[in-house]
């Protein structure tokens, strides 16, 4: 049993009794969603539709509570959530992180929001969550991230990418381990951020490609098209030193910038991933 535990508190003005008793429209929406998913077992967060019930519930909680928002920004969106009506207080929301092998509880009582954990991953839900996560190709998407991405894509020029050869699944298993080994072996520069905490990547050498940049920062080359659209360039554009690219914070998976010394190894890893996908 884990002994590490932390508690995050945020106090709203005013008091309420029970769970989600505010009269605000958002509170009513949260309450309705909680009631609808209570005792439904683990609900997998979607990587393609942010408006499904579990994704929407987490998004509304982020909007309602800076504590929940800050927690999700720090730890990331969970793989699944469970609402239990027989918890104390009732209708606690359990966030399940399969890849971290842990869970957290989100609860509200008398105007105070709590994020409690980490706790052990509930063994009763492991098979269901593992099966659901296996069918996903990327991380869960929330409405806030989806809307931000759409705004950024609309603000930049859209370029066709029919000739762009890109791996269509995220790295897993041995390939992901190899990427992590490359990151450990090559010390990258300090990452710069904009005021929204998005990554600002500056191209250091013409050997860089969007697929390499995408792989280093997002764990997969498949986001290269997305990064290209957000930054208003064609995916096949040859990069030049000094160019700056924005990688949204919700895509970033590493705390260090792309080092030129790692580029060749990253290209080989992309080629290996392409071969694996072609043979599968």
Count other C-beta atoms under 10 Å from residue 23's C-beta.
7
Instruction: Let me know whether 202 and 89 are in one domain.
Output: no
Q: What are the angstrom distances between the C-alpha of 215 and each of 31, 94, 106, 223, 268?
A: 39, 31, 33, 8, 11
Under the banding of pLDDT at 50, 70 and 90, the label for residue 3 is very low
Give just the sign of the alpha carbon dihedral 22, 24, 30, 34: positive
Rounded Cα distance between 231 and 261, Å, is 25
Q: Given this model, what pLDDT does residue 175 score?
A: 86
- Sign, CA torsion 222/226/227/232: positive
Q: For 213-241, what is the mean pLDDT?
A: 87
First to last CA, the chain: 38
Same domain for 167 and 78, yes or no, is no
The stretch 217-227 carries a mean pLDDT of 89
Q: Is residue 154 domain-resident?
A: no
Q: Is residue 223 part of a domain?
A: yes
Instruction: Name the pLDDT band for 1 (thresholds 50, 70, 90).
Output: very low
Three-state SS at 94: strand
pLDDT tens string 44-67: 998 888 888 899 999 888 888 888
Asked if the model's pLDDT at residue 69 lies above 90, the reply is: no
- Rounded average pLDDT over 144-163: 44
Spatial separation of the C-alpha atoms in residues 170 and 224, rounded to whole Å:
12
- Under DSSP, is residue 30 helix (H, G, I), strand (E, B) or coil? helix
Q: How far is CA 30 from CA 21, 56, 58, 109, 250, in A?
A: 10, 9, 9, 14, 23
Rounded mean pLDDT, 85-112: 81
User: CA 54 to CA 117: how far, in whole Å?
Assistant: 20
pTM for this predicted structure: 0.48
Same domain, 19 and 136: yes
Residue 93 pLDDT: 92
- The residue range of the domain holding 64 is 6-144
Query: Are residues 117 and 52 part of one domain?
Result: yes
Number of domains into which the chain is organized? 2
């Amino acid at each position: 049993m884990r002994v590490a535990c932390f508690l995050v508190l945020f106090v709203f003005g005013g008091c309420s009794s029970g769970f989600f008793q505010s009269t605000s429209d958002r509170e009513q929406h949260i309450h309705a969603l909680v009631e609808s998913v209570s005792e439904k077992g683990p609900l997998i967060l979607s990587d393609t539709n942010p408006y499904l019930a579990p994704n929407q519930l987490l998004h509304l909680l982020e909007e309602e509570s800076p504590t929940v928002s800050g927690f999700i920004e720090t730890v990331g969106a969970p793989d699944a959530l469970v609402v239990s009506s027989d918890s104390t207080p009732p209708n606690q929301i359990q966030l399940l992180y399969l890849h971290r092998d842990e869970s957290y509880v989100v609860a509200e009582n008398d105007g105070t929001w709590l994020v409690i954990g980490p706790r052990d991953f509930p063994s009763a839900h492991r098979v269901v969550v593992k099966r659901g996560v296996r069918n996903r190709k990327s991380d869960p998407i929330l409405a806030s991230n989806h809307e931000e991405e759409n705004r950024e894509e609309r603000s930049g020029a859209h370029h066709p990418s029919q000739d762009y050869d890109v791996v269509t699944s995220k790295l897993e298993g041995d390939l992901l381990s190899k990427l992590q080994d490359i990151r450990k072996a090559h010390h990258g520069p300090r990452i710069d951020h904009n005021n929204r905490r998005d990554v600002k990547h500056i191209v250091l050498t013409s050997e860089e490609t969007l697929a390499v940049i995408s792989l280093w920062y997002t764990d997969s080359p498949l986001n290269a098209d997305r990064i290209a659209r957000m930054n208003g360039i064609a995916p096949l554009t040859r990069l030049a030193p000094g160019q700056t690219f924005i990688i949204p914070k919700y895509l970033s998976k590493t705390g260090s910038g792309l080092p030129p010394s790692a580029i060749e190894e990253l290209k080989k890893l992309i080629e290996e991933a392409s071969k694996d996908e072609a043979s599968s």
